[in-house]
Amino acid sequence: MTTESAGGPDETFRRVADLVAQGEVVRARELADQVAAEYAERAPAEAAKALRLGAGLSRLLGRPREGLDRAERAIRLADGVAGVVAAARLEVAEARLALGEAAAAARAFDALAREPGRTVEERLSLRRRQADALASEGQVDAATEVLRTAAADAVAGGAASEAAGALVQGVALAQGEGRSDLVDVLRSAAGRTAADAGSPGALAELDLLTAARSLARGDLAAARSAARSARGHALEAIQPLAYLAAVLAGSRIADRVGDRVDAYRLLATGYATLADLLGAELSRQTFEPELLALRDRWGAEAFASVKAAHDAARRRARSADRRRD
């Protein structure tokens, strides 16, 4: 059966989306390829859309070379249809980055960001990918300069929260290369921008980077403080993954400094909180291995003693709350 007899390309594209949602990415790409083959001559713009879609699906499948081929064919077939050409050019850039062609990818993202008509959020997103490409070649100075310039543009365009995220990305890139000079400057700028924007999510990510840096320097007190701050900001932003990272970091640091009660408390509290956010089963799968690891390190008897002390403290706190009520 042809895609035309099944309702035409639009209906087929909906079926492709359904297959992707079901995890059937290979079948989805096969269907997109079928549309491209059927419409290449009589409706090249529709074929180009299908090829662009196939390029994105190739990226999901970890097959960037196949994605690059589809994206380049989409550009040739699109016949100047602006939206299709722009989307296909983005797939070309992503494929080149995945293939290790970082310089070509950086140029491609730069060209896309310069296109007229882009929203401030689109420009920032493209600049962030350009920075990723530059950083992958070790050009951290150029990458962070791109991010700083893009963040300033975003703030001016009313996207301060997004700008904060870009600056946090710069901190991560600089920190990964051991560039303390850049880290200090970018961290200060990121913190100010995130605070001004009211972006607790960006602050949580920044706190986690600070915790990691402090740990690497052996400053456990500073790392513990940063992890504590990250938990608060992640909860405020309702960012479960950042919250989880902060809880695990805080618990492990507490264990390292010998504060077993706090190491256990953080995991127990995190268990309950993540269950509220993401469901009991996922929380169990996440936290039970961590709790078992503590028991293995401490021994069953010591673990039971810490757990009992924690549970008793919780009962006392609940009793005090009831008396105040």
Q: Give the pLDDT confidence of 14-65 residue by residue, as tens digits.
A: 999 999 999 999 999 999 999 999 998 888 999 999 999 999 999 999 999 9
pTM of the shown model: 0.88
The average pLDDT across 242-265 equals: 97
Q: Residue 96: count other Cβ atoms within 10 Å of its Cβ.
A: 23
pLDDT given at position 5: 43
In a domain, residue 71? The reply is no
For residue 267, the enclosing domain spans: 197-325
In a domain, residue 230? The reply is yes
Gap between the Cα atoms of 53 and 77, Å rounded: 13
pLDDT given at position 81: 80
- pLDDT classification of 12: cutoffs 50, 70, 90: confident
pLDDT given at position 139: 96
User: CB of 39 within 8 A of CB of 47?
Assistant: yes
State the total domains in the chain.
1
pLDDT more than 70, % of the chain: 97
Structure confidence by residue, pLDDT tens digits, 132-169: 999 999 999 999 999 999 999 999 999 999 999 999 99
**pLDDT higher than threshold 70 for residue 4:** no
pLDDT given at position 7: 60
In a domain, residue 146? The reply is no
Angle between helices 160-176 and 180-197 (to 10 degrees): 160
pLDDT more than 90, % of the chain: 88
pLDDT given at position 182: 94
pLDDT given at position 313: 87
The average pLDDT across 267-286 equals: 95
CA atoms within 13 A on the CB side of 198: 1
Helix (H, G, I), strand (E, B) or coil at 157: coil
- pLDDT classification of 1: cutoffs 50, 70, 90: very low
In a domain, residue 233? The reply is yes
Q: Go through the chain and tell me how many residues it has.
A: 325
In a domain, residue 115? The reply is no
| CA distances in angstroms from 153 to 31, 74, 203, listed in the order given | 40, 31, 20
On average, the pLDDT of the chain sits at 94
**pLDDT higher than threshold 90 for residue 3:** no
In a domain, residue 309? The reply is yes
In a domain, residue 297? The reply is yes
Gap between the Cα atoms of 306 and 295, Å rounded: 10
Instruction: List Cβ neighbours of 201 (8 Å cut-off, separation of 6 or more).
Output: 161, 165, 233, 234, 237, 239, 242
Q: Which of 281, 202, 279 is nearest to 242 (CA)?
A: 202
Q: Which of 157, 234, 164, 151 is nearest to 197 (CA)?
A: 164
Q: Residue 42: count other Cβ atoms within 10 Å of its Cβ.
A: 9
The average pLDDT across 192-203 equals: 97
pLDDT given at position 96: 97
The average pLDDT across 290-304 equals: 97
In a domain, residue 227? The reply is yes
pLDDT given at position 316: 87
For residue 122, the surrounding DSSP H or E stretch is helix 120-136
Structure confidence by residue, pLDDT tens digits, 80-104: 788 899 999 999 999 999 999 999 9
**No. of helices (H) and no. of strands (E), the chain:** 16, 0
The pair phi, psi for residue 219, each rounded to 5°, is: -95, 85
**pLDDT higher than threshold 60 for residue 6:** no
User: CB of 85 within 8 A of CB of 54?
Assistant: no
The average pLDDT across 310-316 equals: 88
pLDDT given at position 262: 96
Q: What is the DSSP-derived secondary structure letter of residue 101? A: -
